[in-house]
Structures are given as C-alpha cells and as structure tokens.
C-alpha cells in the first residue's frame, strides 16, 4: 500500500493494515489543518500495522501528530523528514523490530511535542539520527 500526495489534504489519515505481512509507504503528505506562526496544527496520521512481519516507511509528512503501532511480528519502521505540531508516538509490539528515526534533512524534521518510543518484547533495534535543538517555552 502506497500513499503519496504533493498537495495539502487537511484532516486525518488512518491506516489499518490488519494481520499479514504488510508493506505501507506514506510519503509527501500534508494533513495539517492550518499553519499558525509557521507551525502546522491539526490533522493526524495514524498507522496500525497489525500482526505480521510488516514494513512501514513514512517520509515527508506534515501533520499535527503521528502515531505508529507496529503490532506483533518482526517489523521494520523508517520515519524521516516529518514536521509535526505535537507528538510522535512509535510502538513496537512483541517481536524482533527495527525502528529508524532520521532527522537529518533540512526540509522538515520538527516535533512540536513529545517523542515516545515503546519497544515490546524481543530483540529490538532503535536508531535515532540527526540534529537536535533545545526547546524554549
């Protein structure tokens, strides 16, 4: 399953892949409902991969929030070039999972809220790369 858009869509995107060995690719998608002082607000992307050995790739997404639940299985997740107004939540269920979060590009890469990564039971690998800057209130 591939979801790609070059224009702003607004609203919410929910992907429920179900059981099985799924491939989900989401790229160049803008579901932010509005931009306030240069920050995208509203809109959300939620991916529920379900049980199975899934491959999920998310890049170039602008949204209010992003949530990915890989479910059980030996899963692979790659997230890059995201611009989020609030939270990024990544959850890996039981299995030997591989999660990569890359914040190297200058074209996106801001998380306006919390980054939460939950690794389930199994031999998991988590790689986070890129520049970070301090937050101010």
What does the pLDDT read at residue 73?
Answer: 96
Tell me how long the chain is. 137
- pLDDT of 36 > 80? The answer is no
Tokens of 23: 């491939």
What is the maximum span of the chain, computed from C-alpha positions, in angstroms?
44
134 — pLDDT class (breaks 50, 70, 90): very low
Better-predicted residue by pLDDT, 86 or 67: 67
Give the CA distances from residue 23 to residues 2, 87, 91, 119, in Å, rounded to whole numbers and listed in that order. Answer: 8, 24, 17, 20
Q: What is the pTM of this model?
A: 0.85
pLDDT higher than threshold 80 for residue 6 = no
136 part of a folded domain:
no
Please state the domain count of the chain.
Answer: 1
Is residue 4's pLDDT more than 80? Answer: no
In a domain? residue 103? yes
Let me know if residue 46 belongs to a domain.
yes
How does the average pLDDT of the chain come out, rounded? 84
Q: Domain for residue 16, yes or no?
A: yes
In angstroms, how far is CA 21 from the centroid of its own chain? 19
In a domain, 120, yes or no: yes
Angstrom distance (rounded) from CA 125 to CA 107: 26
Q: Please report whether residue 68 resides in a domain.
A: yes
Number of neighbours of residue 8 by Cβ within 10 angstroms = 16
Specify whether the CB–CB gap between 69 and 49 falls below 8 A.
yes
On the 0-12 / 13-18 / 19+ scale of CB atoms within 10 A, 7 is exposed
Q: pLDDT tens digit string along 87-114?
A: 999 999 999 999 999 877 655 677 888 9
* 134 found inside a domain: no
Domain that holds residue 31: 2-129
Q: Does 135 fall in a domain?
A: no
């Amino acid at each position: 399953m591939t979801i790609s858009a070059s224009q702003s869509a607004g609203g919410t995107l929910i992907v429920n892949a179900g059981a099985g060995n799924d491939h989900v690719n989401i790229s160049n998608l803008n579901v932010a409902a509005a931009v306030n002082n240069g920050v995208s607000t509203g809109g959300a992307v939620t991916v529920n991969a379900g049980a199975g050995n899934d491959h999920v790739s998310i890049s170039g997404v602008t949204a209010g929030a992003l949530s990915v639940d890989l479910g059980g299985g030996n899963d692979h997740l790659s997230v890059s070039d995201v611009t989020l107004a609030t939270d990024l939540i990544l959850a890996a269920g039981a299995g030997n999972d591989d999660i990569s979060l890359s914040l190297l590009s200058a074209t996106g890469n801001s998380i306006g809220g919390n980054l939460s990564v939950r690794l389930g039971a199994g031999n998991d690998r988590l790689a986070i790369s890129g520049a970070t800057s301090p937050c101010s209130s």
